[in-house]
Amino acid sequence: MSAHEGQERDHWDVVVVGGGQAGETAAQYASQFSGLSTVLVEEDLIGGECEYWACRPSKALLMPVEAQSVGRDLPGVREMIADRSLDVPAVLARRDDIAFHYADPQEVAWLKANNIDLVRGRGRLAGPKQVAVTASDGMVRTITAEHAVVLATGSSALLPPTDGLAAAFPWTSRDVTAVREVPRRLVVVGGGPVACEAVTWLHALGVEETTLVHRGPRLLTMMEPFASDFAARHLTLAGVDLRLGTSVTGVSREDAQDRGVGRIHGGPVTVTLDDGSQLEADELVVAVGRRGGTDDIGLETVDIPAPHGYVEVDDQCAVVGTDWLYATGDLTGRALLTHMAKYQARVAGEAITARALGKPFNGLTTAEYDAVAHVVFLDPPLCAVGMTESVARQRGIEVETAEYDIAGISGAAISREHYDGRAKLVVDPATDTVIGATFAGTATTELLHSATVAIVGRVPVSRLWHAVASFPTVSEIWLRLLETLQQQRRTAPTPPA
């Protein structure tokens, strides 16, 4: 055991419970410029869901799907690819590389390089500034914090109490991202990013019959309706059988058994739908959301409620009602995304440092949520930042919107033969600034950040005219959106005097 694994001491300035992206970043920011000693408590692999069972492996599985699809749409490449399917072992091997082969020596080295100590085991609050850690051999030790404890215990897949579901050992997000055996027939329940992304790569990896069952009337409900329609259209074109407005009422399975993550969990599974019909499949995926990691972390020992399964934090990511307990990442339920988890962790680390050193809070110690960017990596991808039109209107903002078909942009038309894409800006006329943007289509994900900068910087639309995009890139969509906005403003009827 290396010296930095923290066996020799039981007191640090800062104790972080949970070593996912949120925990690692909080530990880094609490200690890097402050001289505060910090320890990370982790019961599993350091790096969390993102590195091994979420973002990284899922994107490694999706990149070949998009590359194949763009290639098939480009003369010269199309002929080379023809109807060949993906090389499944090669795709899974690269996924394993990207998921660090489900081991964390690179993270341990990173902690060491950043002077962060490590205690392996399950952490549980045992009173103010105290954490009891249970090691894998059952030994319990109590460690204490001089200044702060950060909770960063993340989230796990939610399994609804549907009849027969738990007994069927359905796949969850861990199985789909760590897939080892590709089922022939698949049913996926859910309509959020996990369900839509998983169905995309599993179908491309060779599932012959793929059905997606979603209780809502549209997929990806957090996005603009046109983006939901875009996702549904492309999943259908790919051959996925979409059952929207449909709920699962029961599940049964012969010979159900947990054969390991990513392996088929038993015999055929029968899924009963609310219209009385049944689907039979070789595997069932449940992707209906997450539950915060509040179970058995000792919140009751410091009188902190978690009524909705998440821990409520203030703008410094301090748990409401305390000045020493912080929570970051999925556990806060604010925005279940890695970049937001790390952002909250940077804020918490800076706030802990400021409090410990008696310095005032500044711009780095306050978290904002007006411009949460998110990408859904479908084929083609979709992305959005800030408010949708309907959210803005619910908040009483009389927005202006501009929409444009991205296929009309030279950069898009050059990028593939049959480009399909659309963009929408949501503008607050009172401030003349963008408050939301949504893009769907190939090569749009890398332009999302321009919209984030526009929103966060509160850049007036009149100034955006001077941010000239390169030709021929998809970013020229900005010009078309601004022209659309201007045209609408010029032709809008004048209100009666």
Ligand X SMILES: Cc1cc2nc3c(=O)[nH]c(=O)nc-3n(C[C@H](O)[C@H](O)[C@H](O)COP(=O)(O)OP(=O)(O)OC[C@H]3O[C@@H](n4cnc5c(N)ncnc54)[C@H](O)[C@@H]3O)c2cc1C
Sequence ranges of the binding site for FAD: 59, 123, 153-155, 330
Query: Per-residue x/- marks for ligand X, 152-191, CB under 6 A?
Result: xxxx-----------------x---x--------------
Judge whether 455 and 433 are in contact, CB under 8 Å.
Answer: yes
Q: Is 111 in the site for ligand NAD (CB under 6 A)?
A: no
- Alpha helical stretches, state H, 336-464: 338-357, 389-394, 410-415, 448-456, 461-464
Q: How far is CA 246 from CA 91, 370, 413, 485, in A?
A: 32, 33, 37, 38
Taking CB under 6 A as the criterion, which residues in 265-284 touch ligand NAD? Answer: none
Cis peptide, bond prior to residue 380, ω within 30 of zero: yes
Of the residues 35, 105, 127, 160, which one makes contact with ligand NAD according to CB under 6 A: 160
- Segment lying near ligand X (by CB under 6 A), choices 52-60, 75-83, 265-273, 474-482: 52-60
Q: Is 215 in the site for ligand NAD (CB under 6 A)?
A: yes
- Segment lying near ligand X (by CB under 6 A), choices 65-73, 184-192, 270-278, 330-338: 330-338
Nearest to 478 by CA among 459, 456, 497: 459
Q: State the binding partner of 152 from ligand X, ligand NAD, none, CB within 5 to 8 A by kind.
A: ligand X
What number of other Cβ atoms are within 10 A of residue 430's Cβ? 9
Q: Is 216 in the site for ligand NAD (CB under 6 A)?
A: yes
Taking CB under 6 A as the criterion, which residues in 284-313 touch ligand X? Answer: 293, 297
Q: Residue-wise over 61-80: b if at least 16 C-beta within 10 A, else e?
A: bbbbbbebbbebbeeeeeee
DSSP characters for 52-116? HTSHHHHHHHHHHHHHHHHHHTSTTTHHHHTTPPP-HHHHHHHHHHHTGGG--HHHHHHHHHTTE
Residue 107 or 428 with smaller CB distance to ligand X: 107
- Minimum Å distance from CB 343 to ligand X? 10
- Minimum Å distance from CB 194 to ligand NAD? 3
Check the CA dihedral 280-284-289-292 and report its sign.
Answer: positive
Query: Per-residue x/- marks for ligand X, 28-47, CB under 6 A?
Result: -------------xxxx---
Residue written as token pair 């090691």: 135
Q: Is 336 in the site for ligand NAD (CB under 6 A)?
A: yes
Residue 375 or 447 with smaller CB distance to ligand X: 375
Give the C-alpha separation, 467 to 479, whole Å: 9
Strand, helix or coil for residue 253: strand
Q: Is 58 in the site for ligand X (CB under 6 A)?
A: yes
Residue 286 or 352 with smaller CB distance to ligand NAD: 286
Taking CB under 6 A as the criterion, which residues in 188-207 touch ligand X? Answer: 194
Residue 154 or 436 with smaller CB distance to ligand X: 154
Q: Is 290 in the site for ligand NAD (CB under 6 A)?
A: yes
CB proximity list for 271: less than 8 A, separation 6 or greater: 187, 189, 213, 248, 250, 251, 278, 279, 280, 281, 284
Residues near ligand X (CB under 6 A): 17-23, 41-44, 48-50, 54-55, 58-59, 122-123, 152-155, 173, 177, 194, 293, 297, 329-330, 336-339, 341
Residues near ligand NAD (CB under 6 A): 160, 189-195, 197, 215-216, 221, 287-290, 336-337, 374-377
